[in-house]
């Protein structure tokens, strides 16, 4: 029977199929070939199959991915026993297929501050569909404001409980974790899960953030929280101890302690410290996991002024006209040894002092020699200076003995002046200088006065409560300070009275001004009413009589006015003929507005006027003339008259008068009364 000489040829490979070419043209055995078959089987399995082939190429399908197969070709000739043995086999391997899904049931089994362990469900070839694959864990975290993504390979993939531990994580950090299954043909991921690492001890407090404000007996310490808290800060621990001091007498063993501060407190005030001492501060932060690494810093308190000895009374051991003997005692150092002592003489000068005020003693940091005190107009000068080693015990000292101490001339005191003697101690260390002083004696001025009998009067120095000697103080004497206070009080009272008088005068002037304005307003109102009554009266009188009063002289010439003869009782009376009237046309021609008279004739006479012609009187006109205190008189013939004549004022147009009144109403500070006068 026929048998192929060569194996089939592989033309294409897939994950589940193989394409082959039979390559059966060359055979061993008899022909002709009437049938062809392909036989294939797995190399490492029991799978076997035989498929008939009618073409020179053939596709073998439904294969398993990533599996080795052996393929052979069988040929058949006619007659019985015509099927030959399989030809040489072709060995081929299918490709890998994409994984079915990613790892499932991902969970966290252990969480620590710097590591996390995850576990997932085991999977095999049925999920990977490839014998060559890898499994990685990917996690993302945000550290110091930056997003970081890392990936680690999982090697434990074939166990019953596969798991992986992620190391070198940042404590108290949120992580996003997922598993990635990858083979040559594809990638599948698991679900992503969130996890937070556990707390850890915090980092160190930044050394550059620690600030110390030093005082003599206290220290203010400030700091910031660690840059890496690694959790929630619960408290801060501060330990302190004395390292050194400028004061050699200080016992350093009892200068230590420990302070705990809450997490929201980043400062502390240390009280009860010793001046001029260097303290070491150890600061560390704590979380629920414990304390972090400590940080150490040092600060030095400021030195304090020496403590001056107590003097019971400001009295000297002995006094003369030009000297005062005092007792000098050593001072107690506080934070720094005493470097020297100084004796200061201050001349007492009159100065204002507030009643009841406590005198604050100020020391003398600027040294001034006696020779320069007058040039500098200084009230004090240094009279002596001693080193600390030269005054270790109490000893007397005479101020004004005309010697030199420490470069300062101890000049004799002047008898006619009052002095205060001050004693001060100075400490200098670490670039600081502190001093304290005390008044140890006073010297009163001695004034020689000449009355009937010469005697000495001792003037007390400022601050002297007790004087040596038999001098007495006059009971009615007034101290300069009290006299100054009395003068100030009197000046204050006078100033207050003057201020009250000025305010009172201002109020009076303001009231008078308002009263004057009100009076002017009332005068203008009354004048306006008077003119209104006058105009209405004239209008009524002229309407009833039908007379024309355009102008007084033309009125009398036109209508033949006849003046009565003068009599002794009525030298200026006249008679008006009532029968003469004006026509309506003439009235309208003279008066465009029949209700407004054009002019008023105002004659001047002190007596009443009588109007003749029919015995009727013009009451309205007469009342108008009488209200103004004037009378009308017309001269007869001659100019010279044997009697006192009246004076005739010019006529005034009523319309002009009303316009003028309106203008005066708009003006300020000027009224009808002034205009009329």
Q: For residues 139 and 473, what is the distance between their CA atoms, to the nearest angstrom?
A: 99
Question: pLDDT tens digit string along 131-147?
Answer: 999 999 999 998 777 88
Question: pLDDT tens digit string along 591-602?
Answer: 444 444 444 444
Do the beta carbons of residue 172 and residue 94 sit within 8 Å? no
DSSP SS3 for 14: coil
Provide the pLDDT for residue 664.
73
Provide the pLDDT for residue 658.
80
Q: Is the pLDDT of residue 406 over 80?
A: yes
What is the dihedral angle through the alpha carbons of 137, 138, 143, 148, rounded to the nearest 10 degrees? 140
Do the beta carbons of residue 600 and residue 649 sit within 8 Å? no
Provide the pLDDT for residue 111.
95
Q: For residues 229 and 171, what is the distance between their CA atoms, to the nearest angstrom?
A: 9
Q: Which residue has the higher pLDDT, 304 or 583?
A: 304
Provide the pLDDT for residue 153.
92
Question: pLDDT tens digit string along 276-288?
Answer: 999 999 999 999 9
Q: What are the structure tokens assigned to 574, written together?
A: 């006249």
Q: Give the position of tokens 């890496």.
A: 228
DSSP SS3 for 652: strand
Provide the pLDDT for residue 485.
66
Q: What are the structure tokens assigned to 285, written together?
A: 């932060």
Provide the pLDDT for residue 673.
59
Q: What are the structure tokens assigned to 121, written together?
A: 């469900």
- Mean pLDDT, the chain, rounded, equals 78
Q: What is the mean pLDDT of residues 107-127?
A: 93
Percentage of residues of the chain with pLDDT beyond 90: 50
Question: pLDDT tens digit string along 87-108?
Answer: 999 999 999 999 999 999 999 9
Provide the pLDDT for residue 251.
84
Q: Is the pLDDT of residue 181 over 60?
A: yes
Do the beta carbons of residue 210 and residue 186 sit within 8 Å? no
Provide the pLDDT for residue 143.
78
Tell me which of 114-128, 184-198, 379-393, 535-549 is least confident: 535-549
Provide the pLDDT for residue 232.
95
Q: What is the mean pLDDT of residues 265-273?
A: 95
Q: Which residue has the higher pLDDT, 474 or 46?
A: 46
Q: What is the mean pLDDT of residues 428-443?
A: 90
Let me know the angle formed at the C-alpha of 512 by 510 and 517, rounded to the nearest 5 degrees.
100
Question: pLDDT tens digit string along 221-258?
Answer: 999 999 999 999 999 999 999 999 998 888 888 889 99
Provide the pLDDT for residue 672.
57
Q: Is the pLDDT of residue 474 over 50?
A: no
The model's pTM:
0.54
Q: Which of 17, 15, 50 is nearest to 36 (CA)?
A: 50
Do the beta carbons of residue 373 and residue 381 sit within 8 Å? yes
Q: Is the pLDDT of residue 563 over 80?
A: no
Q: Is the pLDDT of residue 339 over 80?
A: yes
Q: Is the pLDDT of residue 61 over 50?
A: yes
Question: pLDDT tens digit string along 10-33?
Answer: 999 999 999 999 988 888 988 888
**HSE-CB of 331 using CA atoms within 13 angstroms:** 28
Provide the pLDDT for residue 528.
65
Paired residues of 603 in beta bridges: 648
Q: What is the mean pLDDT of residues 191-214?
A: 95
């Amino acid at each position: 029977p026929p048998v192929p000489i060569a194996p089939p040829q592989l033309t294409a490979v897939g994950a589940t199929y193989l394409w082959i070419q039979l390559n059966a043209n060359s055979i061993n055995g008899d022909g002709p070939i009437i049938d062809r078959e392909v036989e294939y089987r797995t190399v490492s399995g029991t799978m076997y199959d035989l498929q008939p082939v009618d073409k020179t190429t053939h596709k073998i399908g439904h294969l398993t991915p990533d599996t080795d197969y052996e393929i052979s070709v069988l040929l058949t000739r006619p007659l019985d026993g015509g099927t030959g043995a399989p030809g040489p086999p072709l060995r081929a391997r299918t490709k890998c297929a994409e994984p079915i899904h990613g790892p499932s049931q991902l969970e966290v089994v252990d969480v620590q501050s710097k590591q996390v362990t995850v576990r997932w469900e085991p999977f095999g070839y049925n999920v990977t569909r490839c014998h060559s694959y890898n499994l990685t864990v990917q996690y993302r975290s945000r550290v110091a404001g930056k997003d970081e993504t890392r990936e680690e390979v999982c090697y434990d993939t074939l166990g019953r409980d596969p798991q992986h531990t992620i190391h070198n994580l940042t404590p108290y950090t949120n992580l996003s974790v997922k598993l990635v299954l990858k083979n040559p043909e594809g990638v599948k991921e698991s679900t992503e899960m969130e996890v937070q690492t556990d707390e850890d001890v915090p980092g160190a407090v930044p050394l550059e953030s620690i600030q110390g404000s030093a005082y003599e007996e206290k220290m203010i310490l400030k700091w910031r929280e660690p840059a890496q808290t690694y959790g929630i800060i619960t408290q801060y621990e501060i330990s302190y101890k004395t390292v050194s001091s400028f004061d050699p007498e200080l016992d350093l063993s009892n200068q230590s302690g420990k302070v705990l501060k809450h997490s929201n407190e980043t400062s502390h005030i240390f009280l009860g410290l010793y001046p001029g001492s260097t303290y070491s501060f150890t600061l560390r932060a704590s979380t629920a996991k414990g304390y972090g690494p400590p940080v150490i810093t040092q600060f030095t308190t400021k030195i304090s002024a020496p403590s001056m000895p107590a003097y019971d009374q400001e009295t000297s051991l002995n006094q003369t006209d030009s000297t005062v003997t005092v007792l000098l005692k050593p001072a107690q150092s506080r934070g720094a040894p005493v470097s020297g002592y100084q004796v200061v003489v201050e001349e007492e000068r009159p100065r204002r002092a507030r009643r009841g005020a406590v005198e604050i003693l100020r020391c003398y940091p600027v040294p001034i020699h006696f020779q320069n005190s007058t040039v500098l107009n200084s009230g004090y000068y240094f009279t002596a200076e001693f080193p600390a080693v030269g005054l270790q015990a109490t000893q007397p000292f005479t101020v004004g003995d005309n010697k030199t101490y420490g470069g300062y001339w101890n000049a004799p005191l002047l008898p006619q002046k009052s002095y205060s003697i001050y004693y001060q101690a100075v400490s200098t260390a670490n670039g600081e200088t502190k001093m304290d002083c005390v008044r140890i004696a006073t010297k009163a001025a001695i004034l020689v006065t000449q009355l009937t009998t010469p005697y000495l009067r001792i003037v007390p120095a400022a601050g002297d409560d007790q004087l040596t000697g038999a001098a007495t103080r006059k009971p009615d004497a007034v101290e300069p300070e009290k006299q100054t206070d009395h003068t100030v009080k009197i000046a204050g009272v006078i100033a207050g009275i003057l201020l009250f008088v000025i305010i009172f005068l201002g109020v009076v002037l303001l009231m008078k001004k308002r009263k004057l304005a009100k009076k002017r307003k009332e005068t203008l109102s009354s004048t306006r009413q008077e003119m209104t009554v006058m105009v209405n009266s004239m209008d009524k009188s002229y309407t009833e009589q039908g007379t024309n009063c355009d102008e007084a002289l033309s009125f009398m010439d036109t209508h033949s006015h006849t003046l009565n003869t003068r009599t002794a009782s009525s030298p200026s009376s006249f008679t008006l003929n009532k029968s003469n009237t004006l026509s309506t046309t003439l009235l309208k021609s003279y008066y465009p507005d029949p209700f407004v008279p054009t002019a008023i004739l105002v004659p001047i006479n002190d007596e009443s006027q009588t109007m003749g012609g029919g015995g009727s009187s013009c009451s309205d006109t007469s009342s108008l003339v009488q209200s103004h205190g004037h009378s009308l008189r017309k001269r007869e013939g001659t100019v010279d008259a044997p009697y006192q004549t009246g004076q005739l004022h010019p006529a005034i147009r009523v319309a002009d008068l009303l316009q003028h009144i309106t203008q005066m109403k708009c003006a300020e500070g000027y009224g009808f009364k002034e205009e009329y006068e």
